[in-house]
């Protein structure tokens, strides 16, 4: 049985790094990891444009190291939480923070066009209480990316970080991408929990479910195997196991398999077939 992690962070400065994660994941049956970049402050850096680029280049190198052990994808972006942190913690004006986001994403889109990375992640909207202007600004950023991808026919995938708003969340993304003629099958509703993932899947959007034990069990009982699992691991010792260790996510699935062997085909669809289709990688 092979296992995949559709959304994982790596921090070689504070944590295991992509190579360490990949090595350990492989020992537990892992074959694929999608690595998502972190913002500069995760590495102890001030969030300037130069430091965003520095962290991106570091993640690309880290991804290359991990690829010696498992198949990978590398996605870089501008996290929705970055905007209000730039304003509230680092003292930027909202307009300047917005302009920085666009400049950073222009660089990311360039990397996508050159085939250096596989996609954009994360972008979207904050899922916590925040000044409404940051929600609007993040939505403008998201639309900017969709517009560029559509007009320039950039071949990439996108991980969306969104509020858990159920049908409302899904309908809003449907409306936005329809304006820019962006295909649904390149967009992953990242970290989709019960109450959201059902609507995303109903509308034929790819979606990832956090791989904690309770949610895996819920998924096997409530959903067809049309989604993927993600650890959303932060790789930060100050927040151990957040959201779940990738190898614990595997153990959670093995525990259910040991109780019910008929789930093998279900988990194979999630861990292999759906990963191959979305990330366009060769199967293990």
Under 8 Å between Cβ of 144 and 176? no
Residue 127 is predicted with a pLDDT of 87
Structure tokens at 199: 């609507």
Residue 129 is predicted with a pLDDT of 85
> Is the pLDDT assigned to residue 115 strictly greater than 90?
yes
CA dist 130 and 88 (Å) reads: 11
Structure tokens at 194: 């019960």
Under 8 Å between Cβ of 40 and 252? no
CA dist 106 and 124 (Å) reads: 16
Percentage of the residues of the chain whose pLDDT score is greater than 90: 98
> Is the pLDDT assigned to residue 128 strictly greater than 90?
no
Average pLDDT of the segment spanning 85-102: 96
Beta-strand ranges (E) seen in 70-227 are 71-76, 119-124, 157-161, 187-189, 208-210
| Residue among 182, 238, 179 at smallest CA distance from 11 | 238
Element containing residue 31 per DSSP (H, E) = strand 30-36
**Residue 14: other Cβ atoms inside 10 A:** 16
Listed range (125-134, 141-150, 248-257) with the worst mean pLDDT: 125-134
CA dist 71 and 22 (Å) reads: 9
Residue 73 is predicted with a pLDDT of 98
Instruction: State residue 259 phi and psi, 5-degree precision.
Output: -85, -30
**pLDDT per residue as tens digits for the range 184-228:** 999 999 999 999 999 999 999 999 999 999 999 999 999 999 999
Domain 3-279 CATH class label: alpha beta
Element containing residue 230 per DSSP (H, E) = strand 228-230
User: What distance lies between CA 278 and its chain's CA centroid?
Assistant: 12
**pLDDT per residue as tens digits for the range 9-51:** 999 999 999 999 999 999 999 999 999 999 999 999 999 999 9
For the whole model, what pTM was predicted? 0.97
> Is the pLDDT assigned to residue 175 strictly greater than 90?
yes
> Is the pLDDT assigned to residue 241 strictly greater than 90?
no
Burial of 141 (0-12, 13-18, 19+ CB in 10 A): buried
């Amino acid at each position: 049985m092979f296992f995949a992690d559709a959304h994982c962070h790596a921090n070689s400065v504070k944590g295991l790094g992509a190579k360490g994660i990949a090595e350990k994941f492989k020992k537990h049956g892992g074959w694929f990891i999608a690595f998502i970049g972190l913002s500069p402050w995760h590495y102890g850096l001030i969030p300037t444009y130069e430091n965003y680029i520095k962290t991106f280049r570091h993640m690309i190198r880290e991804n290359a190291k991990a690829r010696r052990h498992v198949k990978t994808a590398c996605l870089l972006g501008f996290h929705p939480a970055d905007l209000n942190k730039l304003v509230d913690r680092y003292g930027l004006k909202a307009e300047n923070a917005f302009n920085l986001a666009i400049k950073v994403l222009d660089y990311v889109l360039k990397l996508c066009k050159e085939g250096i990375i596989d996609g954009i992640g994360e972008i979207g909207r904050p899922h916590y209480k925040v000044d409404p202007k940051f929600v609007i600004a993040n939505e403008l950023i998201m639309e900017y990316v969709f517009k560029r991808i559509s007009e320039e026919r950039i071949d990439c995938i996108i991980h969306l970080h969104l509020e858990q708003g159920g049908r409302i969340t899904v309908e809003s993304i449907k409306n936005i991408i329809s304006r820019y003629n962006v295909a649904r099958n390149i967009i992953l509703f990242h970290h989709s929990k019960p109450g959201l993932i059902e609507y995303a899947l109903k509308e034929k959007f790819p979606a990832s479910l956090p791989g904690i034990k309770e949610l895996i069990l819920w998924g096997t009982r409530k959903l067809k195997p049309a989604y993927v699992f993600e650890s959303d691991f932060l790789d930060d010792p100050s927040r151990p196991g957040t959201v779940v260790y990738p190898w614990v996510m595997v153990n959670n699935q093995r525990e259910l398999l040991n109780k019910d062997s008929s789930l093998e085909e279900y988990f194979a669809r999630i861990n292999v077939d759906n990963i191959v289709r979305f990330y366009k990688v060769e199967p293990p």
